[in-house]
């Protein structure tokens, strides 16, 4: 066992990066669920974003264009879900599961000729002298743009939900869609917009895996991150900052246990591998013991009547 092989500064930096895909997918799903829609298709939208981002980046050579394509890809797929649940009034659980299966199959088809290719590298954000500060520099200022974008989305989501009228209307639609309709709000339109946003975030999260974390394309490479993101939203009691905490905990401990495995710690690999799930769930369950609860209309289909 050689713990000295672990560089704490690099480890913390890697922990933040490891958390980003979950964070992006979870914050998107949080907005969707606060609008009262349960989209179980996060995994499918992530893998679609992953393959779209990968293909466009390889062909254009620009990761920025690739990430935009990933967001668009995830969002377009989410529109299929929006059509099924908001227009055709299909069951949300079944539609979400179908979306995941569809996304996995579609991405495998699209990515067939891209297996084994290495995408262009995504550079760290040029923050100049800030990145040269000892310790803090590499941890806080040495990341690529998407890490900061993820944090910005969390902050913006929190502020929007709490302080703006758009956020209030979105929460109202999720809390009681019949009452929102009676007041004259366009329930379906608002929900479709939320689903679209959730799809874009999931797509970004997926592309972060295929372009930065791994970086290459393999079938089914999101490997359940979408499901973790879904669970995280629930355990975080639908609160943005708790989603951030949960994502960092999960991503951080995943990274830590990989490092520990590499260092040859005398704990069976299976225990290390399960540790992120256990720790994240315990912490968030303790946090969610206050009286916060799910949005009132979550998962219920809205029929406009009368």
134 lies in the binding site for another protein (CB under 8 A): no
CA distances for 263 relative to 139, 213, 260, 278, angstroms: 21, 20, 5, 22
Query: Is the CB of residue 240 less than 8 Å from the CB of residue 52?
Result: no
Dig out the tokens for 128 from the structure: 């100049």
Cβ 233 to another protein, closest distance in Å? 16
3-state secondary structure (DSSP) of residue 103:
helix
Residue closer to another protein by CB (options 183, 267) is 183
165 lies in the binding site for another protein (CB under 8 A): yes
**Binding pattern for the stretch 256-295 against another protein, x by CB under 8 A and - elsewhere:** -------------------------------------x-x
189 lies in the binding site for another protein (CB under 8 A): no
Nearest to 18 by CA among 213, 215, 223: 213
Where helices occur in the chain by DSSP H, the ranges are 8-34, 42-60, 63-82, 92-110, 136-140, 145-163, 165-175, 177-182, 187-208, 225-235, 240-263, 269-287
Binds another protein by CB under 8 A, chosen from 97, 160, 219, 296: 296
169 lies in the binding site for another protein (CB under 8 A): yes
126 lies in the binding site for another protein (CB under 8 A): no
CA distances for 135 relative to 7, 12, 126, 131, 194, angstroms: 11, 10, 17, 9, 39
Stretch that binds another protein, among 47-55, 145-153, 175-183, 265-273 (CB under 8 A): 175-183
116 lies in the binding site for another protein (CB under 8 A): no
176 lies in the binding site for another protein (CB under 8 A): yes
Name the site residues for another protein (rule: CB under 8 A).
165, 168-169, 171-172, 175-176, 178-180, 182-185, 293, 295-296, 306
């Amino acid at each position: 066992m050689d713990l000295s092989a672990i560089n704490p500064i690099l480890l913390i930096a890697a922990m933040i990066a490891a958390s980003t895909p979950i964070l992006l997918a979870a914050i998107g799903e949080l907005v969707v669920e606060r609008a009262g829609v349960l989209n179980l298709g996060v995994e499918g939208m992530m893998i679609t974003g992953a393959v779209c981002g990968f293909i466009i980046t390889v062909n254009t050579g620009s990761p920025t264009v690739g990430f935009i394509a990933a967001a668009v890809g995830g969002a377009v797929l989410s529109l299929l879900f929006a059509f099924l649940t908001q227009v055709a009034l299909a069951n949300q659980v079944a539609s979400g599961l179908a979306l995941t299966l569809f996304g996995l199959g579609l991405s495998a088809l699209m990515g067939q000729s891209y297996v084994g290719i290495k995408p262009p590298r995504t550079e760290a954000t040029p923050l100049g002298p800030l990145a040269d500060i000892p310790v803090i520099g590499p941890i806080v200022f040495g990341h690529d743009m998407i890490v900061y974008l993820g944090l910005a989305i969390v902050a913006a989501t929190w502020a929007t939900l709490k302080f703006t009228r758009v956020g209030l209307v979105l929460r109202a639609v999720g809390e009681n869609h019949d009452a929102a309709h009676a007041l004259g709000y366009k329930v379906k339109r608002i929900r479709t917009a939320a689903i679209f946003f959730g799809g874009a975030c999931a797509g970004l999260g997926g592309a972060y895996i295929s372009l930065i974390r791994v970086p290459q394309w393999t079938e089914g490479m999101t490997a359940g991150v979408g499901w973790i993101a879904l669970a995280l939203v629930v355990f975080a009691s639908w609160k943005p900052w708790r989603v951030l905490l949960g994502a960092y905990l999960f991503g951080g401990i995943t990274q830590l246990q990989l490092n520990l495995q590499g260092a040859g710690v005398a704990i069976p690999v299976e225990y290390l591998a399960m540790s992120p799930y256990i720790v994240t769930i315990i912490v968030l369950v303790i946090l969610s013991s206050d009286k916060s609860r799910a949005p009132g209309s979550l998962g219920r289909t809205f029929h406009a009547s009368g």
